[in-house]
Amino acid sequence: MNICVFLSAADLDERYTRPAREFGGLLGKGGHTLVWGGSDTGLMKVVADGVQESGGRLLGVSVDFLAAKARAGADEMVIAKDLAERKRLLLEKADAVVIMVGGTGTLDEATEILELKKHGHTDKPVVLLNTAGFYDGLREQFRRMEDEGFLPRRLTELVFFAEEPVGALAYLEESRGIA
C-alpha cells in the first residue's frame, strides 16, 4: 500500500519523533511505501529513516522552492511546481493517508483530504495520529461541527483517530483488506 503521511519538517521533541520513527518502521516492515513531502529534515526525515531502515520504499513529492531539502536516495522523487500541485500529486499517488503532528501546512493538507472525502471525491482511508494528544482540540472541534450539523457525513466516516502508530497502521491495513 502507498501510504501518504502529512507531517512537519521541523525538528521536534522525542515525544513526537519516537512515534514517527515507530510508524515508519511499521510501514517498512509491512512492505508499504511512504508517500511524503520528500524533505530530509525534521519529522519528515525521521519517518523516512524509519521506513528505509526497515526495508520500505520512499516516494517523495517535493516542491520547486524546497528541492534543495529533498532527500537524496529516495526510491522516487517528484518535484512539483507549487504547493497545490504537490498536494494533488501526494494524494494521487496514495492509497491511504496518515496525518501526523504538524503546523499550518499539515493542517491545510488534512482539511483538503477530509473535504474531498466529505463530498465523496475519494474513499481513501484517513487516520489522524493523535501523538501526545496533539489533536485533542481539533477532534473536539470536529465533534462540534458534526453535532451542530456542519458535516453532511458522520465524523467516523471521514477520519479515524489513532493514539499510537500500531493502531494507525492496523486501521489502514484492515480498511484495505490487508490485515
pTM above threshold 0.85:
yes
The model's pLDDT over 114-165, given as tens digits with 9 standing for 90+, comes to 999 999 999 999 999 999 999 999 999 999 999 999 998 999 999 999 999 9
- Model confidence at 171, pLDDT cuts 50, 70, 90, reads very high
Average pLDDT over residues 99-108: 95
- Residue among 1, 58, 51, 42 nearest 21 (CA): 51
pLDDT given at position 80: 96
pLDDT of residue 106: 94
Give Cα separations from 113 to 52, 116, 135 (angstroms): 26, 5, 16
Contacts of 166 (CB under 8 A, 6+ apart): 22, 26
Provide the sign of the torsion angle of the four alpha carbons 142, 145, 147, 150, taken in this order.
negative
Is-contact 10 34, C-beta < 8 A? no
Q: 56-71: per-residue pLDDT in tens?
A: 999 999 999 999 999 9
